[in-house]
Amino acid sequence: MINFTLKQLSALLAQKQLSSVELTQAYLERVARLNPGLNVFVTVDADKSLAQARAADALLAAGKAQPLTGIPLAHKDIFCAKGWRTTCGSKMLANFISPYDAHVVEKLNAAGAVILGKTNMDEFAMGSSTETCFFGPVKNPWDRTRVPGGSSGGSAAAVAARMAPAAIGTDTGGSIRQPAALTGICGLKPTYGVVSRYGMIAYASSLDQGGPMARSAEDLALLLNAMAGFDARDSTSLERPAEDYARLLAAPAAAKLPLGGLRIGVPKEYFGAGLDSDVAAAVEAALAQFEQLGAKRVAISLPNAALSVPAYYVIAPAEASSNLSRFDGVRYGYRAPEYGDLADMYAKSRAQGFGAEVKRRILIGTYVLSHGYYDAYYLKAQKIRRLIAQDFAAAYRQCDLIMGPTSPSVAFALGAKVADPVQMYLIDIYTVAANLAGLPAMSIPCGFGEGGLPVGLQLAGNYFAEAQMLAAAHQYQLATDWHLRQPAGTE
C-alpha cells in the first residue's frame, strides 16, 4: 500500500476496498515509527487527521468523492492550517496556532484530502539543506548522515520514506525541486501566480510559490489540479480558466514515439565547472532516454545564468527584511521574557526568536535597501532579473522544454556547508533562475550517483507549460523506474 500512487489509492477508496481512516491510520503508524530517526514531522495530531478521514469516508459513502478524497497529505509547516500549530521552522512561531487556513489548505480540504501533519523545514524557508530549522535537521532517508535538501526537506523526506503518499512544499529559489532531487522524488514549482500565496508565511513575495511533491509526474498533476486556482486575497494570484494538468499524460494512440517533435533545450552553461561528474553522467543518460522517446536535443545558451545566484541573494533578502518585520513580539509569536522598553522588547524578541541564517538575510536585505545602496545593489539585481527572463524567452523560441541537472551534486553530509553560506547558496545555481523569471519547473529522479544517492533531472517550461512538462516527465517514467526506487530501511 505504501508504494501505491495517488490514482491507485483513490481507486481503492472509491471501490470500498480501503477506508480513509484505515489509510490515514497506517501512515500515522509509519510516522510514529520512522520520525524519531528522520525528524521529518514537526507536528502530528492524530485526532484531527482521523476526524478528517472519517469525514472523507462519509463523502465516499455518499458517492461525492473527488480524486484526492480520503488521501492523507503532509504539509510543509509554512502553510497556515486552522487549529494546527504552524511554526515555519522557527522559535519565533514555535507555539503559534493558526486561526485560518491557507488557500492551498482550503483547496485540498475541499477536495477531501486529509492533513497527515506538518513537516520540518529550514527556518522561514531560508536554507538549502533543512539544517536551519529550530527543531533540528531532517535526515535524508537514503543516508541519514546526509541532508535532504531544503527548504522543503521535511516534505521531500516524508514522501521518499513513504511516511506520506504525497506532500505540499514551497519553492522560492529551488526549495521544492532541489530537495526532490536529493531524495529521489518528484517536485513541481508552478508558474508564479498559479497557486495562491495566501496563508503561506512569506519569505520573498515575488519569488515564493507553493507546489506539489510526490513520487510520480502523474501524482503531481492530480495534486496541482486541486491546488491551482484564482484567489482574490492574493494580489499576485492569476485569474485564468481552470486547467486539467493531467490532460496530456496519455500519448496519442497512433504515436510510435510518444515524445516525437518535442524540442529539448540543453543549456551549455549547466554543464561546465561546478557540476559533479556522477550527476552529469546520470543527466546525460536521461537526455539520451528522452531522445529515444522521440525528443530532439537542441543546444541553447542562457548567458546570464551565472548571475542568477547573486541576483537572487540580493532580491530575496530584501523582500525578507520587509516581510519579517511583522515578527516583533507584539501581536503573536515569541516575545522576550525580559526587556526594558518597547524598543528593547523588539530587539530582544527578534534576536532571541530568529536563527542565524534568518538574521543574516534580514541584515543583507536591510543593507541593500538602505539609502545609498538601493541603486547599487537592489535596482541592479532587478535589472539582471529582467535579463534572465529575456534569456529564457529567447531560448523558448528554439525549444519547448529546457532540461539539465537540478543540483550540482548529490546530497551532501549534514554540517558540511553550514559554516560556508556562499557554498550553500551555490547549491541553488540551476534552480533560482526559474523563480526570478516566474517560470514553471520540476525535478524528477533520473538515476543515482556517488554513494548510491539520487540524482534529479530538472525540466523547465515556458509560462503555463505545466501540462506539457508533466506529460514529458510521465513518458520518461513509463520507460524508466528511477521514481519507483525506495530507500533501504523504509520498507
Catalytic residues: 76, 151, 175
The sign of the dihedral angle between the CA atoms of 35, 39, 40, 45 is positive
Using a 10 angstrom Cβ sphere, with 0-12 exposed, 13-18 middle and 19 or more buried, the burial of residue 118 is: buried
Distance, in Å, from the CA atom of 140 to the CA atom of 154, rounded to the nearest integer, reads 9
**Other CB atoms within 10 A of residue 237 CB:** 20
Asked if residue 112 lies in contact with residue 56, where contact means CB atoms within 8 angstroms, the answer is yes
Q: Is 131 helix (H, G, I), strand (E, B) or coil?
A: coil
Distance, in Å, from the CA atom of 316 to the CA atom of 205, rounded to the nearest integer, reads 8
Q: Show the cell assigned to 183.
A: 531524495
Q: Which residue has the cell 541584515?
A: 363
Among the residues of 6-63, which ranges form H helices?
A: 6-14, 20-38, 46-61
> Which strand (E) or helix (H) includes residue 446?
strand 441-448
Distance, in Å, from the CA atom of 139 to the CA atom of 49, rounded to the nearest integer, reads 24
Q: Residue 87 carries which DSSP code? A: -
Return all residues near 305 (Cβ < 8 A) that are at least 6 apart: 267, 269, 270, 388, 391, 429, 433
Q: Which of 346, 375, 351, 377 is nearest to 364 (CA)?
A: 377
Q: Is 295 helix (H, G, I), strand (E, B) or coil?
A: coil
Q: Which of 460, 467, 472, 471 is nearest to 395 (CA)?
A: 460
Asked if residue 5 lies in contact with residue 219, where contact means CB atoms within 8 angstroms, the answer is yes
Q: Is 364 helix (H, G, I), strand (E, B) or coil?
A: helix
Q: Is 97 helix (H, G, I), strand (E, B) or coil?
A: strand
Most distant CA pair in the chain, distance: 76
Q: Which residue has the cell 540543453?
A: 266
Pairing of strands 72-76, 114-119: parallel
